[in-house]
Structure 1
Amino acid sequence: MAEMKPIICRIPSIVDKEKFMNCVAVAADLLKRGGIIAIPTDTIYGIAALAQSIDSVERLYKIKGREHNKPIAICVGELNDIPKWGKVDCPIGLISALLPGPVTLLFNRHHNLNPLLNPDGKLVGIRIPDHSFVRALAKECNEPIALTSANVSGSLSTLSIEEFSELWPLLDGVFDGGRIVDTPEARKGSTIVDLSLPGAYKIIREGSAYKKSRATIENFGLIQEAI
């Protein structure tokens, strides 16, 4: 679907709801037509496709230069969307304490999920970024969005659209939310936590919210398992 130049859209302030939602609608239309787009999150910029689309997921892997054995997370808009795609074996209160936020939670994957997304894995990573545009987009699409960092695999994560300009010709849309605040934690991406075992957790990647996430999880009585 990608042309020589992608649609580039500066995301309006959510205060201007009409313009904001018009931008969301453009992004959703591109995804529903099989497109791959770049979007900001609460940590770094990501590239996104509809997770249930076999062709779109395959394009996403190719754009990233990513092996199929390296998993890609999905993004949803609401907490009640999570059990549709992952089997939740932890307190719901824990999930609501961690999300929305810079955390990816791993669950045993639900059979509803596209089998060609992370085909060799039993788990699925699920995110609800604390970002109004991403959440509105997931709600507008009404299905999970496959989301991975906007960079070629192995290179530095990106905080502005200019930092991944080499990928633009491969994309159908670039949605510019401005430069994400550059802090020592910024490029680490989300903290990844495995919650697939009842009563236990594993920190798979420390990411940008490690200390807060660990404290929150242990307040719910879960025991840390060795990786």
Structure 2
Amino acid sequence: MAAVASSFSRFSFRCAVCPSPLRVRFSQPHPPARLRVSSTVVALHKRNPKRLKYAAERQFTSLWWLGFARTKRGDAGLLRVEVEPSGGDFWKLDPIIDLINRGAVGVIPTDTVYSVVCDLSNNESIERLRRLKGIGDSKPLSILCRSLRDIDTYTTGFPQGTNQGQANIFRVVKRAIPGPYTFILPASKQFPKQCIKHGSSTRYAKRRQVGVRIPDDPICQAILQNLDEPLICTSVKYLSEDEWILDPVIIADLYEPLGLDFIVDGGPRIADPSTVVDMMGANPTVIRQGKGLKLDWMVAKDEEEDEAQSMFSFKSA
């Protein structure tokens, strides 16, 4: 009996010190409910890192006459967006598209120099653009087109050629665009009439001709392809000098006090405007030589004048 009692006591002591494995529980304690809720909230607010970064930079305030959203710089406001020509951050152009559709006047880069642009059909925006540049109603304005379809819509098109030997200019023009050329063509009925104001009176005049461009610039094309129609444009120059401004920082400093709404910063440009080709006459005539080369189917203005003078002399003789 003593031996049995001794073995039983040893067994009881062993069970007390080292319990049976069947009684051991390895389940981990649950984390506090507060931590689980916190992680869920973070997951719900997770967003695209690019959008999150851009949203932090866009500290918009309400605007004046049209209620735009723009960044605040001192007493005036100007939305300035820096974009890489490579196209990796073209998502930054979304607010620019919205501002243009609302009637804003701003500056964008092209394949030549910077241009002041606005909506083609917004007469109030066009009037603001003219006041900002200090140009009158008689100054012609060009349009930045998205494709040849826009040119066909707002002009009567390029000469197609005839059986009488007239050259088919349209075929050779397609090789030059997109590019640094402005072609002057007859305006079609779809081209909006020009709003001319004299004091309290307002009249609308039909535009007989218009300069059209399809720039070979990825930033400019990214903006145009997200719009419903072309943009009215004119090059950016110093207010008192006939010289182009190539630095977007200087453009912002000079034109912001005048009411410029936005600027797309695509880096400095070269002082080389577009080549202007007049398509209204018998021959495509270069009336301003710029970045675009004079092609073999174009004639210089001096050459056309010499040809006209020789024809006049021949008829007189």
- TM-score bin (small chain): 0.7 to 0.9
How far off is 1:57 after superposition?
Answer: 0.7
- 3-state DSSP of counterpart to 1:175: strand
2:286 to 198, 203, 223: 203
Separation in 1 of the partners of 2:195 and 2:149? 21
How many angstroms apart in 2 are the aligned matches of 1:56 and 1:86?
22
* Aligned residue identity for 1:126: V
Contact 2:108 2:265 in 1 (8 A): yes
Match of 2:153 in 1: 84
SS at match of 2:295: helix
Find the residue that maps to 2:184 and give its secondary structure: strand
Q: Which amino acid aligns with 1:179?
A: P
Deviations 1:54-103 (A, max 9, x none): 11111111100001111010001112221111111323222212211111
Alignment of 1:126-165 (within 5 A): 126-151=212-237, 152=239, 154-164=241-251, 165=253
Q: Look up the equivalent residue of 2:117 and give its one-letter code.
A: A
The answer (yes or no) to whether the contact 1:105–1:127 under 8 Å persists in 2 is: yes
Given that 1:51 and 1:117 are in contact with CA atoms closer than 8 Å, whether structure 2 keeps it comes out as: no
Distance 1:153 1:125 in 2: 24
What residue in structure 1 maps to residue 179 of structure 2? 101
Aligned residues of 1:77 and 1:134 also touching (Cα < 8 A) = no
1:1-227 to 2 correspondences below 5 Å: 1=66, 4-16=76-88, 19-20=89-90, 22-90=91-159, 91-116=169-194, 119=205, 121-151=207-237, 152=239, 154-164=241-251, 165-169=253-257, 170-180=259-269, 182=270, 187-197=271-281, 199-209=282-292, 212-217=293-298, 225-226=304-305
Q: Give the 3-state SS of the residue equivalent to 1:83 in structure 2.
A: helix
Letter of the 1:171 counterpart: L
Instruction: Note the C-alpha offset of 1:202.
Output: 1.7
Two-structure CA RMSD over aligned residues (Å): 2.3
Tell me which structure has the larger Cα radius of gyration: 2
Partner residue, 2:26: none
CA–CA distance in structure 2, aligned partners of residues 69 and 188 of structure 1: 24
8 Å CA contact 1:86, 1:124 repeated in 2: yes
Taking the aligned partners of 1:149 and 1:15, their CA distance within structure 2 comes to 23
Between stretches 151-160 and 4-13, larger displacement belongs to 151-160
Give the Cα–Cα distance (whole angstroms) in 2 for the partners of residues 72 and 64 of structure 1: 12
Distance 1:107 1:188 in 2: 22
Structure 1 unpaired stretches of 5+: 219-223
Q: Quick one: distance in 1 between partners of 2:221 and 2:268? A: 19
1:10–1:176 CA contact under 8 A, matched in 2: yes
Q: For residue 221 of structure 1, what is the aligned residue in structure 2?
A: none
- Name the % identity: 26
Letter of the aligned partner of 1:176 in structure 2?
D
Which residue type is aligned with residue 212 of structure 2? Answer: I
**2:227 & 2:141 partners in 1: Cα distance?**
18
Provide TM-score, normalisation by structure 2: 0.61
Give, in angstroms, the shift of residue 216 of structure 1: 5.0
Query: Deviation at 1:15?
Result: 4.0
Taking structure 1 as the reference length, the TM-score comes to: 0.84
